Amino acid sequence: MVERILTFSFLFLVGCVSFDSTGLTLAEEEKASKTVSEVTPTAINQEPIDLWERIRNQLSLSIPENYEDAEIYKKRFLNNQHTVNRMSNASQRYLFHTVNRAEELNLPVELALLPFVESEFDPYAQSIYGASGIWQFLPATGREWGLKSNWWYDGKRDIVASTDAAFTFLTYLYRRFDNDWLLAMAAYNAGPSRINRAIKKNREEGKPTDFWSLKLPKETTAYVP
């Protein structure tokens, strides 16, 4: 089966990377450990946090077995370990937050991974079209979904505010497109109007209207898997 193969390929490659949820340096951790051991000599057993395992256990969106480009994307990940490592390292500051927030809102964990594609989790990323932040909000879309911006603050670059806005927007798109997360993600990338036109065209031609059956821009067809 090819289900979830692209996400699994990426997670397999970055799974060896461990995240430090404390944000402390190694020296600070050693100092803190010594301080605690002096006060509490009895060791406390604690399971190490494995964010990638959490993500793998929650994957729910699937790729059809007959999806022709699946192997292409899989090989792209497997043959670009340097790029995967760079993306993994870049996400360490913020992936915990997007995953935690998705869990709190009972959303598919795949949504928490979208900033990998949007910006490589770089809050200072900016496109030539003016989209910025890890979720690449355009100024108008950001305002529409409650992100404030002035001379000293830009909500599009605020990790907490932009993540909440992105998940609210994606939930709206999910409901708009008949509770279909794949179409919601496609609409987040290409815009709702573009997806509506593709659906309308397929209906007129008597074709299925699921994501895999729509004729969409290459960027969007590569975005969702």
Burial level of 75, CB count in 10 A (0-12/13-18/19+)? Answer: exposed
Between the alpha carbon of residue 2 and those of residues 38, 62, 94, 111, 137, the distances in Å are 52, 8, 29, 20, 32
Is 118 marked active-site?
Answer: yes
Which of 118, 120, 205, 219 does the annotation list as catalytic?
A: 118
DSSP for 60-117, please give it: -----TT-TTHHHHHHHHHT-HHHHHHHHHHHTTTHHHHHHHHHHTT--GGGGGHHHH
| d(C-alpha 216, C-alpha 211), whole Å | 9
Task: Give the residue numbers marked as catalytic.
Answer: 118
